[in-house]
Amino acid sequence: MASKKSPNPIDVHVGSRVRLRRMMLGMSQEKLGEALGITFQQIQKYEKGTNRVGASRLQHIATVLKVPVSFFFEDAPGSPEEAIGFGEQSHSYVVDFLSSSEGLSLNKAFVRIKDPRVRRRIVDLVQSLAGEEESVA
């Protein structure tokens, strides 16, 4: 047996969703830790999945980050969607994108654009630059 056990995929997923939401709100690990009464190092361990988040702590995190607890389990490994082949491939790229600084900046700016025609033209522009012919949505 190895001395270091790898983190459970669910714990890693929940941690990545905590990180995603925290970043979407522009909140630091320190600020989240303060709100929860724990250190930013503990937040880091939760976000990496190396430490498991208990139920009451997850509820507190959900309250501070203003999301339902279910947010942390959306598209989790082993979900019904994954079992029928839709899970990882269809959604992990979205989480990866929104977890990047560029993705987060682009998303924040994009949602501030109120005119749906302008938003559509931006999507068309990005797809054109990426070499895509048609939109998926």
Ranges of each domain in the chain: 9-99, 100-137
9-99 placed in CATH 1.10.260.40: yes
The pLDDT of residue 108: 81
| Interatomic CA distance for residues 99 and 62, integer angstroms | 18
Which pTM was predicted?
A: 0.64
pLDDT in tens, 91-113: 566 667 776 778 878 888 888 88
Are the C-beta atoms of residues 119 and 113 closer than 8 Å to each other?
yes
| Interatomic CA distance for residues 88 and 79, integer angstroms | 10
